Chains A and B, each alone.
Chain A
Amino acid sequence: MELIQLDPYRWEVPQDHERGMRVPARIYADDRLMAAIRNDQSLVQVVNGATLPGIVGASLAMPDMHFGYGLPIGGVVAMDPDTGVISPGGTGYDINCGVRLLRSNLVEQDVRPRLKTLVEELFRRIPTGVGSRGKLKLSPADERAVTLRGARWAVQQGYGSEADLACIEAGGCLEGADPDKVSSKAFERGRSQVGTLGSGNHFLEVQIVDEVFDEHIANVFGLFAGQIAVLIHTGSRGFGHQVCTDYLVVMERCMERYGIQLPDRQLACAPFRSPEGQDYLAAMRCAANFAFANRQCITAWARQVFEQVLGMGPRDLGLALVYDVAHNIVKIEEHLVNGTRRQLVVHRKGATRAFPPGHPEVPPQYRAVGQPTLIPGDMGRASYVLAGTQRAMEETFGSTCHGAGRALSRHAAKRLAKGHAIQRELEDRGIIVRYTGRATLMEEIPEAYKDVTDVVNVVHAAGISRKVARLRPIGVIKG
């Protein structure tokens, strides 16, 4: 495969008709990250993305890219709605997996003396782990309401406030969700999982703003050096997994009828305007809303725990939502393509929306500086807050990276972790960790991930987002 380096941070696989590519593939990486990327099959997956009918511009991959299903993790593809397709494999199983950041009025010394109790209480109150079941007992009618109203449902139930909704991508609720397009299996799988963190790489972290890179933007986001913050990373749980599973089957059955041929079955898709495509879109939106509600409920419990453990009122704590952003989702967005405004079907799979200053979908209080973009790292190192840029809008359909990206397989991580007292080693570094599954903890050791700093430095240098602040964890709860 021909891979051309365009500049220190941009690479291109030119359009190759023999491979069925309809557009080129473009990858954001520096030399070091590219060396790692070449080791797995993810380059082939970006190229496969370029074969999807109706793709516009280029098949894109962010520097945290690694092997995924269908598209690589870190992939972005945008389709023309009239000639293009929609693909469940272009979104992923964990629909609206995403991140939200809460800021506070606290600094480290307010929390450090009570940190252990705080982390233990967070762990007790927020269900974590494999198959974790929530405290919410939802009726089938409640669960339908969750899928229609998303975070708005949670706020109506008393979990948070209207102010929270204003700081969530799409206001915490995607319009056009239709629960009738979701299988009873998905509802059954999700029923006890609203308000659960789950397992794997999902977490809730108590963090400190470690370094501010852009004082002005940080100020607009309400962030300052030394500040305590809370980062929550989870998605739509079993509900979303089942929606993706169900629609992969639907797509596989109809592709032949629509005359779509693809190099990878996992990319199974249907024309956007087809009944199957529209049904998936409506079901995917239900799962996205499920995830927004999930993160909203967890937020409310985290606030309660802070209030109780620190003996402070909500006003003194100031645990306000900075932003909540999805990194596995399909959105209908307006973009400028060769000087023409067009509606596009943007698939982000392990990529984060990063809209620029002035964009109408950026909340008014942030509009002058761009959308807050949250990039979680591993539990031992750091996470980042970035801001969206005009360059992202022009080059990547307003998208940037989503995290560190795995460097080691789960097997390899476990082998490396064997014999290590991970929890104690982290505690020696001032990071309190509570977890449900030891296997998960071993798979999630910091060494299993690329350094998120390397990834963020590429998107910053390439100009598709701006570094605003780095946060480091001091308390972690995991599945």
Chain B
Amino acid sequence: MRFRIKDLKEFLDSSKINWLKIVETLNKKSFESYLKKEYLEVEILPNRFSDSGNIRGLAKEISLVSDIRFKDLKFKLHKVKNQSKEKLKLEIKTKELEYYSGRLILDIENKPSPKWLKDFLNFYKINSINFLVDLSNYVMIKIGAPLHIFDFDKINDKKIIVRDAKEGESFVSLKNNKFVLSQDDIVISDNQRILALAGIQGGKYAEVDLKTKNIFVESAVFNNFNIYRTSRKLNLITDSSYRFERRVSIKNSQLALDYFCYLVEKELKGKVIFDEYIYQQEKKKPEFINLRLNNLFNYTSLNVNHKDVLSILKKLNCRIIKDNKTSLVIQPPNDRLDLALEVDLIEEIIRLIGYDSINPTYPLQFNYPKEDFYLLFYDYLRNLLAQLNFTEILSYSFIDDNDIVNFKNLFKFKPIEIVNPNSNIYKFYRPFIFINLLKGVAKNLSFYNWLENKEFKFFEIGKIAFYEKNEINELSSLALVISLDNIEKNYLKIKGLLKTLFEDLGIENYQFNVLEHKNYEFEFISEILIDNKKTGYLLMPTYNLLKKYNIEQSVVIAELNLNFLINNFFKEKRFKTIFQFPAIFRDVSLVVPIYFRTNELEKEIRNICRDILERLEIIDIYYINDQEKSITFHLVFRNKKKTLRDEEINELMDNLIKFFKDKFNIKLR
């Protein structure tokens, strides 16, 4: 909020004020503040808006943190007896009202506002309407309590009823907007029509204009929660609602009413009627706070003496009810609504002493630190994948409608929708990470369009979530993406990567279970099974689908559920015996029909060689023609208990070749 320096000066008893110094002190002890030309820009904290969000209040705060004396308003109100027969009747029919007071002012000569008032409102960004209305706003900015004025002659039956709105009842605002209300809202009405939406905005029916002679002015304190709810629901945020939400003290409310009446009398010749209409919810007992002085030390390790505490409390206008030197019973000033608990007073005292006086002391209490297992696992994976030449990407945790459609085959669960997304491209919380990595590939393909060899290997570790039986299921996930312009190479690379990853985790039993699917979006989709449990996906989108993401080269994707891996496989490794007996190796090239599956051959070889086959590698695949291919296996044999003889292996190889010849009619190359 901005405050003109000349307005603040009205409340400060000093001819010479060093504003630069004031701003510096405010910054540390009160609010973030900036000194501008002829005004201060002050970010009043939300809990202090009720007392400091007005000129008088900020001047009080300045006086509290500096040595400048506060100079309050001085005025005298002349009240007269009501001569006319017309009397107002006030009825309160709501529980959401803390305090209500109002006065009649008669025989007013309303007119347009003078220049000083127009300038004032202009600075505080309020439109000038007419002198009466402008004075009410002037008082609000100066004292902090919003007032509302009704044209008395327009009030039907001279009745003011403060009540809960009826369901479906409508209210027409000054700006001619219609709002439909519900029982949660409070209104001010006469016996027929709604005159104002309480604490938020006035209505058309009792609007004050230049012809207005007699007014009823209201100064009230409405329930702040109630005002907040109504104002957000109707999306109607006004200067008045903003203040009521942050609470208004009864003390300021009373002062504002009196000051307004005084101004109307002085400036517009109004006659202020003696009788005041007052309602107050059953008076709460004054709140006392018990302040234990040792808590000041506990909070700061500062030795604050009793005398200093008393002088600060005095400056704060606190009443000391009881004092036994080690603890005090205190009644806080009734315009400081933020002071309700012992800690509130502790804060008040510490900030006024100054946070700079707190000295650092090293933590003395020992705590044996533990780290969450998941975080440790992420670090392990990051290291491993970076070693394997993958680059970690961080993406936004959101996807859009198109992504949902494109990958609908994978979405067995309902995705989590953001009710108020920043943009439609961030509409859902991601149920998979890989979709964003696809976008990452597309992005980098365009950044690196000059690259000769566009090969990208990305991974991301993060949270995913979706609904499972209407409950949120949040999981940790690892997505891997490889993109290069050779489909087969791409596929073999990711399979090899997964193999290395699983081997490092000590996972032996894993399979890729190819799923049947009836669409053209994927070359294939496989489930990754670990110990026969579904742990993730391995899939390759078709060229068609990739084109939708602006990717013109092959991409293969894997995504793994980390919760399952952590719980079952994140263990320390154990030493395994290093075998001393020498190995023997053989290369064997088999010529098979082109459609023959490699894993069939592999299965048979392992079956025949059994234990002594230590390692099996495919070192070459050669396409002889469009019917046949040759696959070369590199086989390593070792007996763990003795030295193998060449003859044993020769015999084994002969058996192997004979078997393939007999069973599949496969030749050697």
Query: Are A and B bound to each other?
Result: no
